[in-house]
Structure 1
Amino acid sequence: MEFTKTTELNSNHNHLEKMTIQELLSNINLEDKTVPLAVEKALPQIEVLVNHIVEKLENGGRLFYIGAGTSGRLGILDASECPPTFGVSQDLVIGLIAGGDMAIRKAVENAEDSLTQGWEDLQKYHISNKDVVIGIAASGTTPYVIQALKVCNNNNIITGCITCNKNSPLSLAAKFPIEVVVGPEFITGSSRMKAGTAQKLVLNMITTTTMVKLGHVIGNKMVDMQLSNNKLVERGTKMIMDELDISEEKALKLLMKYKNVREAIKNYKNGN
């Protein structure tokens, strides 16, 4: 099928500079409302990929995100939130960006055009066929990402992608593509907007669903979260209070003793 970059099509809105602030905000919001519906259409694709991720991570594998620019930053954001939220190792979900860590804050010229750097970046982590690699690119045409996935395929590593164009080169390179077609951006070609929002929603789904299936959530609570600030200590204390029907003082004491909600609840129930 023919490949059309819908992310680059002309905006449905024109003469933006003549709009009032209220009109700008309303029209951006109007476009944003379409994103969850586009994600919904991709749910079957997301489910297939998550099944493979859960299986690989249950058997000692890791999840890698690889992208450039906004897409790379979103992958790094999602990866960085897994340890504090679910108490997993920093090495379980890893985000890589074209141009390295410097590119998180500042664009690195031509970094996304390299045909070899993506695979080289993955090799630094001794990647193997136990792992899963997801390429993230709104356009679906980023060489850094596409070539990395192609080499992964050659090494029998499961590959997925998150893109916002149908039948893109990235979709064709990934074994399990996720295509969330959000259409033209409010500002023509500004894929940090609807496309970025769509990618963030999908990333949330992937790691949240995976972590639930790996046992890091009980009921609806983050029982393995890291107690890295007062807010999270308070949240953990309340979880223990609700689960065990004990006082705040007793719950906090348990939490401070075991440094983990799951362990505090388990040990209390076991009479420790």
Structure 2
Amino acid sequence: MNDSQTRGHLLTEQINASSQNLDQLSSLELVDLFNREDIQTLLAIAHSREHLAQAIDIIAAAMGHGGRLFYVGAGTSGRLGVLDAAECPPTFCTPPELVQGIIAGGAAALVRSSEDLEDRTEDGKQAIAHRDVKDLDVVVGITAGGTTPYVLGALEAARQRGAKTIFIACVPKEQVKVEVDVDIRLLVGAEILAGSTRLKAGTVTKMALNILSTGVMVKLGKVYGNRMVDVAVTNQKLRDRALRIIADLTGINRQEAGVLLDKSGLSVKLALLIYWTGLEAEDGEKLLEKFQGNLREAVLSCQSGS
């Protein structure tokens, strides 16, 4: 789509019949309207469940072979990608380079609007080159309206480098067609405030990214049951969470959990392995490395004697 073409036909630009009297509603009526409309986000996720699952498997497989995940977007979409990437290290103790967020305009665009930068296709391509994206990597392009040149340029460059590509948009495929490995369409309908995709489109995108990154980390063995056993213990709140996880899963008291956590070098996963198997820390680390950090598989290997 070139600059002379209108985007008015896109689903994200349509007028919502339910909110045409928006400026006449009371505050309570506004809240109720938002609540009713946000139901569409849940329905959109459910409709895209198979594509989301496919994306999780592709990303997990890539990371299992040393690949990285890149989110690329502009404006709200870019900020959501950066946010999800930034939350992976403290939640799952991943290195910062494993999941990266790329936003048109760079770090400055996180706090100051820079919508004009999203129109530069070449900038998107250059961003992929700058990160030295390879065939082992996965690039997720995020654009509510599906037409952002920066994102489309990044996806094109990623494909040329052999990387897997995933597209997340809130318009139907017949309105915007792209060539990617997984095409996720989150159709939430017209916004309450016409064209303001930071609303339902932004909400459903955040939901989708939560599912993708958490699902991938589960597949990579960074979760035991529903506990974040790879949590990075970098402040008092996270230390408290680590102690609760250890105490809950082992039945020992908080003081004993603290001793075990310190003995394991602040690694919840290693602390649990030491407790359940009786291994020394060094041997436990080697066992976890053998099973690529999967705590359950490491524990089962000791129980089976393999």
Q: Report TM bin, short chain.
A: over 0.9
Choose 215-224 or 13-22, whichever is displaced more. Answer: 13-22
Tell whether 2:213 aligns with 1:217: no
Mapped partners of 2:36, 2:173: distance in 1: 26
**1:25 is the counterpart of 2:31:** yes
Which deviates the most, 106-115 or 210-219?
106-115
1: CA distance, partners of 2:53 / 2:146:
20
Residue 154 of structure 1, CA deviation: 2.2
Among candidates 248, 254, 261, match of residue 255 of structure 1 = 261
1:66 aligns with 2:72: yes
**Percent pairwise identity:** 39
Displacement of 1:171: 4.5
1:8 lines up with 2:17 in the alignment: no
Q: CA deviation at 1:15?
A: 2.1
Cα distance in 2 between the residues matched to 1:247 and 1:10:
58
Q: CA deviation at 1:260?
A: 1.3
Q: Which amino acid in the other structure matches residue 124 of structure 1?
A: H
Q: Displacement of 1:134 after TM fit? A: 0.5
What is the CA deviation profile of residues 130-175 of structure 1, one whole-angstrom value per residue up to 9, with x for unaligned ones? 1000000000000000111112222221111110001267651323
| Cα distance in 2, alignment partners of residues 224 and 169 from structure 1 | 41
Pick the aligned partner of 2:191 from 185, 188, 201. Answer: 185
Report the alpha carbon displacement of residue 268 of structure 1 after superposing the two structures with TM: 2.3
Match of 2:272 in 1: 265
TM-score calculated relative to the size of structure 1: 0.95
On the 8 A contact 2:56/2:212 being kept in 1, the answer is: yes
Which structure's relative contact order is higher, taking Cα pairs within 8 Å and 6+ residues apart? 1
- Which range moves more in the overlay, 150-159 or 83-92? 150-159
Question: After the TM superposition, which of the residue ranges 13-22 and 194-203 deviates more from structure 2?
Answer: 13-22
Per-residue CA shift, 1:28-50, capped at 9, x if unaligned? 11101121111100111112222
Deviates more, 1:197-206 or 1:12-21: 12-21
What amino acid sits opposite 2:173 in the alignment?
N
Q: Which amino acid aligns with 1:238?
A: R
Q: Structure 1: which amino acid aligns with 2:11?
A: T
Q: Which residues in structure 2 correspond to 1:40-79 (within 5 Å)?
A: 40-79=46-85
Structure of larger gyration radius: 2
Q: SS of the counterpart of 2:141? A: strand
My pick for the range that moved more, 254-263 or 176-185, is: 254-263
User: Is the deviation greater in 28-37 or in 253-262?
Assistant: 253-262
Aligned equivalent of 2:149, options 143, 153, 157: 143
Q: Distance in 1 between matches of 2:116 and 2:86?
A: 25
- TM-score, normalised to structure 2's length? 0.85
Q: 2:45 aligns to what?
A: 39
Q: Is the 8 A contact 1:146 1:169 kept in 2?
A: no
Deviates more, 1:111-120 or 1:230-239: 230-239
CA distance in 1, matches of 2:209, 2:200: 14
What is the match of residue 302 of structure 2? none
Conserved in 2, the CA contact under 8 Å of 1:171 and 1:178?
Answer: no
1:69-148 matched pairs, under 5 angstroms: 69-148=75-154
Deviates more, 1:247-256 or 1:215-224: 247-256
What secondary structure sits across from 1:53 in the alignment? helix
Q: CA 1:169/1:112 → structure 2, altered by over 3 Å: closer, same or farther?
A: farther
The question of whether the paired residues in 2 share the 8 Å contact of 1:161 and 1:170 is answered with: no
Instruction: Please state how far the C-alpha of 1:218 moved relative to its aligned partner.
Output: 0.7
CA drift at 1:115: 1.4
Q: Secondary structure at the match of 2:121?
A: coil
5+ long unaligned stretches in structure 2 = 1-6, 281-306
**Which is worse superposed, 188-197 or 261-270?**
261-270
- State the alpha-carbon separation in 2 of the partners of residues 29 and 195 from structure 1: 14
